[in-house]
Chain A
Amino acid sequence: MQTWTLKPGVIETDLNDELVLLDPKTQGMFSLNATGRVIWHGIKNAESLESIAQKLEQQFTVSFEQAQTDASALIGELEKAGLIS
Chain B
Amino acid sequence: MNFSILGRQLINSDPSLQPWLELYFRFPYEVEANDYRIELVQKQLPNFPGQLPVTILELPDTRLEMRSLENEFWFGRPESGMRFTFDRGISNLEWWGMEIPFNALFIGICEGLRLSGLVSLHASIAAKNGLATAFLGPSGRGKTTTLLRASIAGWQIVAEDFSWLMPETMDLYGFDRGLRLLPDTANIFKQHHQDIELLEMIAGKYVVPYEQLGVQRQAVKLERLAVLERNPDEISSWKALPKREGALALWEANGVPFTPDAQNFISSVIPKLLATLKLETLVLGAGELPLGNTELSQHSS
Residues of A that sit less than 8 Å from B by CB: 11-18, 20, 22, 24, 27, 29, 31
Contacts and interface: CB of A to CB of B under 8 A. Distances in A.
A27 B251 CA distance: 9
Nearest to A30: B244
Q: Is the interface of B mostly helix, strand, loop or mixed?
A: helix
Given A20-B244, A20-B247, A13 B252 contact: no
Which bracket fits the contact residues of B? Answer: 10 to 19
Given A13-B251, A17-B243, A20-B247, 16 more contacts: A11-B251, A13-B247, A13-B271, A14-B267, A14-B271, A15-B243, A15-B244, A15-B247, A15-B274, A16-B271, A18-B243, A18-B244, A22-B256, A27-B252, A29-B244, A29-B247
Contact of B271 (A11, A15, A24, A29): A15
Contacts of A20: 244, 247-248
Interface string B245-258: 00110011000100
B267 A31 contact: no
B270 interface: yes
A11 B247 CA distance: 11
Nearest to B248: A29
A16 B275 CA distance: 10
A13 B266 CA distance: 9
Contacts of A24: 251, 256
A11 B244 contact: no
